[in-house]
Structure 1
Amino acid sequence: MSLPLCLVAPAAAQTPQAAQFGAREAVQQISLSPDGNHVAVIQPDGGPGATLMIADLVEGGAMKGILHSSGKPDRLSECHWASNSRIVCDIFMIQQDSVKLAFTRMVSLNLDGSDLKVLTASNTPRSLGVAQSGGAIIDWGPEGANGSLVMTREFIPEQTTGTHLASSREGLGVELIDATSLRRKTLEQPKTSAVDYISDGHGNVRVMGLRPERTSGYSGDIINYHYRLPGSRDWKELGALDVGGGMPKGFNPYAVDSTANVVYGFDRIDGRRALYSVALDGTLKRSLVLSHPQVDVDSLIRIGRQERVVGASYATDKRQVEFFDPELQRLRIALSKALPGKPLVTFVDSNADESKLLMFAGSDNDPGTYYLYDKASRKLEEVLTSRPRLAGVALANVKPVEFPAADGTRIPGYLTLPAGSDGRNLPAIVMPHGGPEARDEWGFDWLAQFFAARGFAVLQPNFRGSSGYGDAWFQKNGYQSWRTAIGDVNDGGRWLVGQGIGRADQLAILGWSYGGYAALQSSVLDPDLFKAIVAIAPVTDLETLREESRGYVNFPQVDARIGHGDHVREGSPARNAKRIKAPVLLFHGDQDLNVGIGESRLMAGKLREAGGSVDFVEFDGLDHYLDDGTARTTMLARADQFLRTSLKLKP
C-alpha cells in the first residue's frame, strides 16, 4: 500500500510552544581546551544541521563557526581537543546499500577552521571492503606528546594477487596518530575478534576484549577480556562477559586507573548492577566499590584529559552521585548551594591540570546551564544556556510518584503537572519510555514539558521491564514480558483517573520507540482505556523487528532478546490492529536504523484495513531520533492538534 508523505503541519497546528520546545538543545556537545581558554561547542541549526563553534573564554566568549554538517547524511557527533590549537571531530552518516549502514569518519582541523584533514585511515584500490567505523579515541598521546591521540582502527585486508605491497592485516587495532601530520604508529596489531581496548590515561593499552564469531559469521555471546601487567606486553586472562540477549553477565570493564593499578567495571550483586575494581597486578583481587540495595549503580564518573575515575552514580527517585575524590565532593556540595534550584550538577570536562572545570547544572524545570569554574580564583562563570528558546517560559515541576499495579506491585514514575495547575480533572497523557532497556529519571524532559505547557498532566512510568531496578524488575525484558510491562503502563492511566488528576474521557498515551510500541499495545490489552494514541518510531511487529537485524552481526542477540512463542504474535500491535479502537497518529523517519520505517507503514496499513482511524507522518532523511528542529516542531504541533481533536479539547 502506498502511503502519503507529510512533512509540513497545517498552519493552524503551529503554536509558539511547539517551536520553543521543538528547537534542539543549543549545546549538543561541549569540550574544554587543555589550557582552559576555549570551548568547542556543537550547536544545531533550525533543521538537521549543526556547526562546530569555538568560544574564546579569555576574550569574552565570542563564538566563531569553523565546521558545518548538513545533517543529510553527514552529522557532527562530537569534537574534542587534541591540543590547544587542534580539534578532532567524529562525523556520522547513514548510507543505503542492500541494508542501511552507519559509517563514522574522524577529522582534525585547526582552531580557526583551517587545515582540515581526515584522520581515519583511507582505503586503497586493493582494499577488500570498507571500514564502517572511522575509529574511536581511547586516550591522548603519552606525556610530552602534543596533539597526538590513541585511536582504534578497523583494518581492512587487501587483495594480494600480483603485488607484494598488499596488507593482510584485518580486525580492530590501535594506533598513535599525530592530529596534524597524520603520522601513524601501530600500538596494537589488529585482531579479527577484537571489539574493545581500554587505555590507562597515559597512552598504554591495558585491557582488550575479544569476541569470537560464530561459524555463521554472526557475533558470539561471549567477550573474553584480557589485561596486561604494568610494563608488560603479554596478555593475561581477566574474565568473560556474556552479552547474549539479556542483561550482561560477568565483569564488564570500563576504565583503568594506572596509579591504583586496577580496572573499574560493573557486575551484578544480589540481582543488581554494582561497581567493582579488579587489581591488575596478577592477583585479580576484586573489591566492591559501590552498590545500592534497591537500584543499579549505572554510571562511572570520569574527569580530565586522563579520564580519571572520580565517582559513580545511580538513580533512585532522583540521580545520586558519590564521589571518591574528596575535593570534588566538597566542590559539588558548594556549587549546589551556589546554584539554588539546580541540584543536577555534573562535571563535563576540565583543562589539562584540572584547575578549571566545565560543568552543567539544571533541574526538572530548568533545562540547564553550562559554567566554567576556576579553582584558583573560585570564580564561577556562565558559558552557555542549554535551551535559550525557553528563557522566560514557566516550566512545570516533576514529582516522583508511585502507583499500584493490578497485582499490588508499586510502580515508580514521574508526574508532571501544568505550571500553576491545581492538578485536578486535567486531560492526561501516559508517556512510557523507550528501550525497553532504559528508565526515566527526574529532570528536564522536553516532551513532557511541552505537553504540560499545553495543559496536560503527564505520567512517565518505570514499568516492569525497565532497567535500573535489578533483574527481578527487568524480568525477561519488555517484549517477552510484554503483558506485565504494558499492564503496568495501563495501570498508570487508571491511577491518573482514580486520583482525580486525569479524566477518563480525556486520557491519551504517547511514546517513542519501545514507548511507541507500548502506546499501541496498550490498546490491544485494553481497547477502551486510552482515547488517543501517538506513537513515534514505534516497534509494531516483533517478527519484523527480528528480521530487520538478520543482515547484521548482532542478529543472534536480537533473536534471543525477542524470543519465540505465542508472545510474538500476541505482543505485536500490527497483528492485533482490529482491537485498537482509539485514533492513532504515527511519526517515523525513513532513515531509522533502530526501527525500520516499514513497521509504521505496516501499522498504518493494518489499521486502515481494520477500519481504524490513523494519520501517518513520514520524515525524509531522518533517523530514529528525528534530530531536526523543524521536524520536531512539526511533530509537536501535529501531536498537540491531534490530541485536542481526539479528546475534544479547545485549540
Structure 2
Amino acid sequence: MRLRSAIRASAAVCVALGMPPAQAAPDPVGPTAAAFGAREAIRQISLSPDGTHVALVVPTNGRGEALQIADLVAGGNPRTILTASGNPDHLADCHWSTTTRLVCQMVTVADDGYNILGFSRAIALDSDGGKMKILTASDNARAVDVMQDGGTVIDWTADGATGSVLMTRKFVPEVTTGTHLANETDGLGVERIDTVTLARRTIEQPRGGAVEYISDGQGVVRIVGTRAKTGIGYDAATISYSYRKPGDRGWQPLGRLTIGGGGDTGFNPYAVDSGLNVAYGFDDKDGRTALYKIVLDGSLKREVVLARADVDVDQLIRIGRQKRVVGASYATDRRETEFFDPALRALAASLRKALPGQPLITFVDASSDESKLLLFAGSDVDPGRYYLLDRATRKMEEVLPARPQLAKTTLASVKPITFRAADGTMIPGYLTLPAGSTGKGLPAIVMPHGGPGDRDEWGFDWLSQFFAARGFAVLQPNFRGSTGYGSAWFKKNGFQSWRTAIGDVDDAGRWLVSQGITVPDKLAIVGWSYGGYAALQSSVVDPGLFKAIVAIAPVTDLDSLREESRNYSNFKMVDAFIGQGPHIREGSPARNADKIKVPVLLFHGDKDRNVGIGESRLMASRLKSVGGKVELVEFAGLDHQLDDASARTTMLTNADAFLRASLGM
C-alpha cells in the first residue's frame, strides 16, 4: 500500500563563508539545487516480524531525523514516535525486536577542542513511542575510560514475540580505591538482553582485544576476532579469528586478517550458517577477492563459493531476522547478484521482469517467516522505490519512493565507458550526459570518487545527476587505486600510488576533449574526500587541463592527514596506509599550491571526523599566499557527508555558479 509521507526538505543551516559566493547562474538553479540537495526521504527502513508495519527513519527540518511507524494494512500517514535534532544527536537506525517494540541506535559527536569523538547508545521503545528504555549498559564516575561504543545488536534471536537480542557490550574497568564493588573487567563482551524487561545476562565474558563477534543467527556466538595493541595503545595491523565447534565452548584458531596499506590479506569472516556449519567470508583468489566458506568442524576445509576473473566478489547477500546467507554480488558494468537459494533466485528473475526499468533490486528486510519481503528497486534514472512483496499471494505494492522531490525531474542516463590512459591501460568509468543533449560540445566535469578504497557503480548518484541537470557532461573514472578490480588495480593505494591514480583522472579529462564531448576551456573537476584530493592534485600534475576545481572535504596534505589520527587507536594503520617517502611532499596539493593556476572552491564541515577541516583551511591559506583564487565555504556542526539539505543546496548552488563563472558560461 502506498503511504502518504509528510517528509519535507530541511530549511536551515549555519554557513560560514570564507568570502562572498560567486554570482548566481542566469537561469534559476535554486529549485534544482533544492531537489537534488534534499536528503534521501528514507534514511533506513525495517519490516515488523509479522509484516504489517514498517519503521522509517526519515530526515527532518535541519539535520535531524525522525522515527515513523507506518501501518501497511490500514494505510494513512506514518506517525512520528521519536525525533533527534542532529545537534548533536542523530538517529542512526531502528529495527524491530518484536511486533510492537524496536531497538534504535543513537549517535552523537563531541568536540573537546582537540579531538572529535563519536558516541553511540542503544535504546528500546514501543511502536507507539512508549516505554522508552536505554539498552546500553550504564557507566559511572568510577570508570577509568570513556565508553564510546554503546553496543551493537549481532543477533535478533527472537521470533518476534520474546524480544531477546544478542548485543555487544564494552566493559570499562572502574577505580577500585575505597570500594569492593567496582567493576574490574575490561574488553568487549556479549550480553543477551530482553528488550522488553531489560533483563540482561553476559553470555560472552569481556575479552581484552576483542573487536568483533559473529553469531549463527540462532543465538549462538561462533566466531570472535581479537586485535592486539602496541605498548602505547595503538591497534595492531592483524586481527586473529577463532571459532567454536557446534556445542563446544572452547575456541579454536580460524585465521588471521592483516589490514595493510596495499589492501587486506587473509580470511575475513562475515557470517556463520549453523545448518551447514560453515563460516562465509572473503579472501584472495588469483589477485581478486572471492567468497569462501570454511567448515567449522576442526578440519577447516575451505571451498570457493563464488569468484570472478575480472572483478572482486565483494558483498554477501543475507535475508531475514536470522540474516541467513542467500547469495553474493559483484560489480562489472553494473552490480550483479548470484543467489544460492533456489527460491530467491527464481524470485529475483521474476522481479527483474516485473520491474524492467529498475534492475538494481535489493532485498532489504523480511517478516519472521520470510513470507513478506521488503525490497528496493532503482536504476540510473530512477532514485529508487521501496516495495512490499507478499510471496504467498504474489502481490507487490509500492511503499514509498526514495526521493519524492525528484518525481517530476527527468534524469540523465548513465553509460559505462572505457578510456585509454597514457600508458595504454583501459580505464573503466561512467559517463552521464544531460538528458536530451547531443553529447557534443558540452561543459564537462571529471568527478573522481572518494576513498581512495572505493569505486563508482552504475545507478543513481545525486551529485552527478545535479550537474547533468544543469547541462554538464560528467565522467566518473574508476582510476587505478579503486577497489573492485583486484589487488593489481588497487596498487599500493591512491595515496602511495598517487601518480598512477591522478594520471588516470587527468586522462579522463583528456578523453572528454578527444571525443568532442567538451572543449578544453569548458573542462572542470569536482571531487569529494579523496575525490577532492584528486581534484586538487590533478592540477598540480597538469596545471592547464582543468579550468576550475571544486573540492568537498578534501585531503590536502598527507602528513596532516596522518597527524589527525595520532591520538586515535587506528594511527598505525593510517600511518602505514599513507606511507613515508617523497610522495608525501610531491603528492600533497597544499605543499604544491603554487602549481595550481585555476580558481578553487572548497567546502568543508567543521565537525568532520574523516578529514579534518584544517585540511581545507590549510589549502585555502596556501593558495592565498601564492596569489591563487580560492573560496572556502565552512558548514558549522556538519560532518564529512554534509548531511543537511540546506547545506547541500547551498553547496550545489554555489558550485554551479562558480563553475559557470570560471568556465565563462
Q: For this structure pair, what is the TM-score category when the shorter chain's length is used for normalisation?
A: over 0.9
SS at 2:94 equivalent: strand
Query: Could you tell me which of 302, 306, 312 is aligned with 1:296?
Result: 312
1:234 aligns with 2:250: yes
Rounded to whole Å, the distance in 2 between the matches of 1:633 and 1:403 is 32
Cα RMSD for the two superposed structures = 1.4
| 2:286 aligned partner | 270
Alignment of 1:125-140 (within 5 A): 125-140=141-156
Query: Could you tell me which of 407, 411, 422 is aligned with 1:391?
Result: 407
| 1:321 aligned partner | 337
Query: Could you tell me which of 53, 60, 68 is aligned with 2:83?
Result: 68
Indicate conservation of the 8 Å contact 1:61/1:383, yes or no: no
| 1:223 aligned partner | 239
Q: For residue 245 of structure 1, report the CA deviation from its aligned partner.
A: 2.9
Query: Could you tell me which of 211, 217, 221 is aligned with 1:205?
Result: 221
1:409 aligns with 2:440: no
1:105 aligns with 2:121: yes
Q: Please, which runs of 5 or more residues in structure 2 have no aligned partner? A: 1-14
Q: For residue 214 of structure 1, report the CA deviation from its aligned partner.
A: 1.3
* CA deviations over 1:318-340 (Å, ceiling 9, x no partner): 10100001111111111111112
Indicate conservation of the 8 Å contact 1:201/1:308, yes or no: yes
Query: Could you tell me which of 45, 59, 68 is aligned with 1:44?
Result: 59
1:540 aligns with 2:556: yes
Rounded to whole Å, the distance in 1 between the matches of 2:22 and 2:391 is 52
1:599 aligns with 2:599: no
SS at 1:443 equivalent: coil
Rounded to whole Å, the distance in 1 between the matches of 2:80 and 2:292 is 42
Indicate conservation of the 8 Å contact 2:443/2:519, yes or no: yes
Q: Which moved more, 1:616-625 or 1:89-98?
A: 89-98
Rounded to whole Å, the distance in 2 between the matches of 1:509 and 1:491 is 12
Indicate conservation of the 8 Å contact 2:99/2:160, yes or no: no
Rounded to whole Å, the distance in 2 between the matches of 1:178 and 1:475 is 47
Task: Decide whether aligned partners of structure 1 residues 566 and 144 sit closer, same or farther in structure 2, where only a CA change above 3 A counts.
Answer: closer
Q: For residue 181 of structure 1, report the CA deviation from its aligned partner.
A: 1.7
Indicate conservation of the 8 Å contact 2:479/2:505, yes or no: yes
| 1:26 aligned partner | 41
1:87 aligns with 2:102: yes
Alignment of 1:327-366 (within 5 A): 327-366=343-382
| 1:257 aligned partner | 273
Rounded to whole Å, the distance in 1 between the matches of 2:391 and 2:659 is 50
| 2:12 aligned partner | none
SS at 1:58 equivalent: coil
Q: For residue 141 of structure 1, report the CA deviation from its aligned partner.
A: 2.9
Rounded to whole Å, the distance in 2 between the matches of 1:484 and 1:61 is 55
Indicate conservation of the 8 Å contact 1:395/1:449, yes or no: yes
Rounded to whole Å, the distance in 2 between the matches of 1:574 and 1:4 is 22
| 1:243 aligned partner | 259
Q: For residue 15 of structure 1, report the CA deviation from its aligned partner.
A: 1.9
Rounded to whole Å, the distance in 2 between the matches of 1:114 and 1:144 is 18
Q: For residue 625 of structure 1, report the CA deviation from its aligned partner.
A: 0.3
Query: Could you tell me which of 561, 564, 586 is aligned with 2:602?
Result: 586
Indicate conservation of the 8 Å contact 1:439/1:466, yes or no: yes
1:437 aligns with 2:453: yes
* CA deviations over 1:290-309 (Å, ceiling 9, x no partner): 00001000000000000010
AA matched with 2:464:
A
| 1:609 aligned partner | 625
* CA deviations over 1:504-523 (Å, ceiling 9, x no partner): 10000000000000000000
| 2:7 aligned partner | none
| Larger RCO of the pair (alpha carbons < 8 Å, separation 6+) | 2
* CA deviations over 1:322-380 (Å, ceiling 9, x no partner): 00011111111111111121000110000000000000000001000000000011000
Indicate conservation of the 8 Å contact 2:98/2:161, yes or no: no
SS at 1:211 equivalent: strand
SS at 2:457 equivalent: coil
Alignment of 1:490-569 (within 5 A): 490-569=506-585
* CA deviations over 1:596-630 (Å, ceiling 9, x no partner): 00000000000000101001100000000000011
Q: For residue 6 of structure 1, report the CA deviation from its aligned partner.
A: 5.8
Rounded to whole Å, the distance in 2 between the matches of 1:171 and 1:221 is 18
Q: For residue 124 of structure 1, report the CA deviation from its aligned partner.
A: 2.0
AA matched with 2:617:
R
| 2:324 aligned partner | 308
AA matched with 2:575:
D
SS at 1:426 equivalent: coil
Rounded to whole Å, the distance in 2 between the matches of 1:331 and 1:524 is 51
SS at 2:519 equivalent: strand
Aligned residues: 647
SS at 1:505 equivalent: helix
Q: Please, which runs of 5 or more residues in structure 1 have no aligned partner? A: none
Rounded to whole Å, the distance in 2 between the matches of 1:388 and 1:6 is 33
1:421 aligns with 2:421: no
Rounded to whole Å, the distance in 1 between the matches of 2:221 and 2:482 is 35
Q: For residue 180 of structure 1, report the CA deviation from its aligned partner.
A: 2.0
Indicate conservation of the 8 Å contact 1:69/1:75, yes or no: yes
| 1:121 aligned partner | 137
Identity rate, percent: 65
| 2:8 aligned partner | none
Indicate conservation of the 8 Å contact 2:16/2:636, yes or no: no
Q: For residue 11 of structure 1, report the CA deviation from its aligned partner.
A: 9.0
Q: For residue 16 of structure 1, report the CA deviation from its aligned partner.
A: 1.1
AA matched with 2:81:
I
Task: Decide whether aligned partners of structure 1 residues 189 and 8 sit closer, same or farther in structure 2, where only a CA change above 3 A counts.
Answer: farther
Task: Decide whether aligned partners of structure 1 residues 7 and 139 sit closer, same or farther in structure 2, where only a CA change above 3 A counts.
Answer: farther
Q: Which moved more, 1:95-104 or 1:471-480?
A: 95-104
